[in-house]
Structure 1
Amino acid sequence: MENDSFRAMNTTIATQGLPVRWRAQARSWFAFAEAQLSRFLPDSELSKLNRAAGGPFLATPLLYQVLAEADRYHRETVGLFSPYLGRVMERLGYGESFERLSPAEGNDGSSCCADGAAAEGIAHGGRIAGRIELGGKVPAADARGDGLAGADARGGGLADRNTRNGGLANASECFSAAELDPGSRAIRLRADVAVDLGGIAKGWTARHLAKLARQDGVRTGAVGAGGDLILWGCPPEGWRIGVADPWRPERDATSLTPRRGAGIATSSAVKRRWQDRGGSVRHHLVDPRTGDSARTDLAQATVIAPDAVMAEVYAKCALLLGADEGPAWLERTNPRCAMIGVRYDGSLVYGGDLQTYGIEERASDERIG
């Protein structure tokens, strides 16, 4: 299948299966999305929205749709996932694009375990949310899904939030961060709030590109954006996805062989670290419950889901909740998802619907749920 890679959104974007006529469109689409959704570009629409906090802002369809989906997940998780951490990120020292920060010792500058070299690899046998390989390594798989479903694919409903919010005490706080009017596309942020779409913008942009390609007749392909990956269809040789070791990304911690289209996302607390002005080491995964870089016993969490944006959101939530509560929370929230977590001692923890996605557990690792 045709392969391509390019830089956008401060990461490597990789595509597989897109015909030549789509390559320029893919670049243009990601460049356009970055120009509108970046927190670091002063002229982006997102920056203009943040400067208008406290007053009404009439958004374009792109910004409104991405923020509306992020806000739905914000409410569904009762604030465990939050797109409203822009001010918090600035306070922690992440006020400009990552490559301009002072990296913490040992940080290689990649945005997560599968960034940089990762996605470069869709064309070179390397990684996206791990490594993708084609060519007889697994038997042919039956493509029964496409990983392109929208918000209605989330499942799990919104009921029983108190059992799924990871200990968040004040649900009303997350519901007051912004008001969104779908009729006029007006957004009103609370005066002390700024939006940071971060990873969800990458996943949403990749999902939309895949949707357009599929509508144009591209039956099988993949789009990777750093730690986010969307697969649709299945090549005759099958997919093989290697989940990267967070400390040695050239190696696999484990692998999976999806039998259907899927969204896959990896969140890592090991990469994208910097030193703040006080000399403290921070990382980009902020816990909304504390307003600080997350403290968790998971170094990395990979979630496989029916939808790419869902995988992105749930991977962050699972990592924040840790090795015990993360897999259990995921199974309660959406039993169609699966999870692979990597503890700081290198051991693996599994949860969710592993069989659907062809994940083989090792006897030495732990199954939760």
Structure 2
Amino acid sequence: MWLLVVLGAVPLLSQSDGGRLQLVRRAHYVMGTVFEIEAYGEDADRAAEAIEEAFAAIRRADEMMSNYREESDLSRLNREGAGGFIPVPRDLYELLQKSVEYSRLTDSAFDVTVGPLVVAWQRASEQGRPPSDRERTQLLPLIGSGHLLFAEQEQAVRLDRPGVTVDLGGIAKGWAVDRAAQILRQHGIERALISAGTSSVYAMGSPPGQPAWNIAVRHPLQEDGILAVVSLKDQSVSTSAGYERDWKIAGKAYSHHLDPRSGMPVESMWSTTVIAPDAVESDALSTATFVLGLERAERLLRKLGRPAVLVGKGNRRSEITIREIASTGGMPVIHLQRRREKQ
């Protein structure tokens, strides 16, 4: 199932930029999804080497930030962090600090301490019953970015009480995309596309002879339908969707997107697609705006000046409400395929 997909074939060879640019594509399964990188370079072998170095950085991100790997730095923090400050790599330290900033910015709609709730709902799907109100409210005191304490000089992090756990699922892939882009630039690559599964895409430059990369956003009620086409250059787009996967509990589907403030799955949104200068921001904001709902999400994004396409649920399954937040000028350009407010 796709959320974002690159549109249109691009030429394998181009005489632009004073040389023949060759397109090299690679894909690897990492961080629980398929990452893809396609890049243009004058030398195909050097471009391929740069891409593989970028993939090595993505794998290191998984080894550092995964909460499914027992040996990862994040898993160690979750196990031992309540007992004192745990030294962590600089990249993880800074990403945790950035996560706290996004939590404050979004009124806790984005919160990496949502871990206990995720575990509770995953267990509920296995047991065939949703968490009771009592079970859910008992977990809420464990949620909140204020539970993360930082020691800058020691580059260490502490969890201020037992039971608090961190889940970077809403931001780690964005970080990996940004790091991959940084490595490609270090190798002199100026035109590339990096995708983390189909939920986050970063566009470096543009394909030869074209003004931008064109990314299709899936329509929430049409499996093969396109809601919008986004033209990107040196920007990232991320989509969070309520239809990509869910928990089936007692015959009812529950969104895997949880509101950290209530502990409940989000039921008001179909999808949120957010464009930002980097993938960390687009990843975090697409998650947060999905939780916030149409009105509050639109206010936040207009305040931040971030283009977006928000799709809310109507009274019936066949109804959707679309809000486009256009760019104030230049890139990106959003082309809605259907402009009616309700469909």
TMscore range, shorter length: 0.7 to 0.9
Structure 1 residues 8 and 323, CA gap change in structure 2 (3 angstroms): same
Q: Which residue of 1 aligns with 2:92?
A: 63
Q: Partner letter of residue 264 of structure 2?
A: D
Q: Which residue of 1 aligns with 2:307?
A: 338
Secondary structure at the aligned position of 2:81 is classed as: coil
Q: Partner letter of residue 181 of structure 2?
A: A
Structure 1 residues 6 and 36, CA gap change in structure 2 (3 angstroms): same
Q: 1:92, 1:292 within 8 Å by CA — same for their partners in 2?
A: no
1:255 lines up with 2:229 in the alignment:
yes
CA shift for structure 1 position 199: 3.0
CA shift for structure 1 position 232: 1.5
Q: 2:85, 2:151 within 8 Å by CA — same for their partners in 1?
A: no
1:78 lines up with 2:117 in the alignment:
no
Q: Which residue of 2 aligns with 1:53?
A: 81
Q: 2:148, 2:157 within 8 Å by CA — same for their partners in 1?
A: yes
CA shift for structure 1 position 86: 0.8
Q: Deviations over 1:325-360 (max 9, x none)?
A: 32222111x11x111122342453212426531113
1:29 lines up with 2:51 in the alignment:
no
1:217 lines up with 2:195 in the alignment:
no
> RMSD of the alignment, in Å?
2.5
Choose which of 346, 355, 360 in structure 1 pairs with 2:335.
Answer: 360
Q: Deviations over 1:253-302 (max 9, x none)?
A: 111223x31011000111221235x6653332111121121121x20110
CA shift for structure 1 position 362: 6.2
Q: 1:339, 1:354 within 8 Å by CA — same for their partners in 2?
A: no
CA shift for structure 1 position 27: 2.9
Q: Partner letter of residue 254 of structure 1?
A: A
| Counterpart Cα distance in 1 of 2:152 and 2:215 | 38
CA shift for structure 1 position 7: 0.7
Q: Partner letter of residue 85 of structure 2?
A: P
1:288 lines up with 2:260 in the alignment:
yes
| Counterpart Cα distance in 1 of 2:336 and 2:224 | 21
Choose which of 290, 300, 306 in structure 1 pairs with 2:271.
Answer: 300
Q: 1:275, 1:282 within 8 Å by CA — same for their partners in 2?
A: yes
Structure 1: stretches of 5+ with no match in the other structure: 96-100, 105-169
Q: 1:92, 1:282 within 8 Å by CA — same for their partners in 2?
A: no
Q: Partner letter of residue 24 of structure 2?
A: E
Choose which of 56, 74, 93 in structure 1 pairs with 2:122.
Answer: 93
Q: Deviations over 1:121-165 (max 9, x none)?
A: xxxxxxxxxxxxxxxxxxxxxxxxxxxxxxxxxxxxxxxxxxxxx
| Counterpart Cα distance in 2 of 1:361 and 1:283 | 25
Secondary structure at the aligned position of 2:275 is classed as: strand
| Counterpart Cα distance in 1 of 2:86 and 2:277 | 32
CA shift for structure 1 position 205: 0.8
Structure 1 residues 7 and 248, CA gap change in structure 2 (3 angstroms): farther
Structure 1 residues 25 and 215, CA gap change in structure 2 (3 angstroms): closer
CA shift for structure 1 position 217: 0.6
TM-score, length basis structure 1 = 0.72
Q: Deviations over 1:149-182 (max 9, x none)?
A: xxxxxxxxxxxxxxxxxxxxx9xx8452211122
Larger radius of gyration: 2
Higher strand proportion: 2
Q: 1:75, 1:174 within 8 Å by CA — same for their partners in 2?
A: no
Superposed, which structure 2 residues align to 1:156-175 within 5 Å? Answer: 174-175=144-145
Q: Which residue of 2 aligns with 1:112?
A: none
Secondary structure at the aligned position of 1:92 is classed as: helix
Q: Partner letter of residue 157 of structure 2?
A: I
Secondary structure at the aligned position of 1:360 is classed as: strand
Q: Which residue of 1 aligns with 2:288?
A: 317
Higher helix proportion: 2
| Counterpart Cα distance in 2 of 1:348 and 1:279 | 29
Q: 1:206, 1:230 within 8 Å by CA — same for their partners in 2?
A: yes
Q: Which residue of 2 aligns with 1:4?
A: 26
Alignment length (residue pairs): 289
1:242 lines up with 2:212 in the alignment:
no
Q: Which residue of 2 aligns with 1:155?
A: none
Structure 1 residues 230 and 357, CA gap change in structure 2 (3 angstroms): same
Choose which of 144, 149, 154 in structure 2 pairs with 1:179.
Answer: 149
Q: Partner letter of residue 350 of structure 1?
A: E
Q: 1:272, 1:283 within 8 Å by CA — same for their partners in 2?
A: yes
Q: Partner letter of residue 334 of structure 2?
A: I
Structure 1 residues 311 and 66, CA gap change in structure 2 (3 angstroms): same
| Counterpart Cα distance in 2 of 1:51 and 1:280 | 33
Range moving further from structure 2, 312-321 or 351-360:
351-360
TM-score, length basis structure 2 = 0.77
Structure 2: stretches of 5+ with no match in the other structure: 1-22, 41-46, 129-139, 314-318
| Counterpart Cα distance in 1 of 2:272 and 2:60 | 29
Q: Partner letter of residue 259 of structure 2?
A: D
| Counterpart Cα distance in 2 of 1:245 and 1:354 | 24
1:229 lines up with 2:229 in the alignment:
no
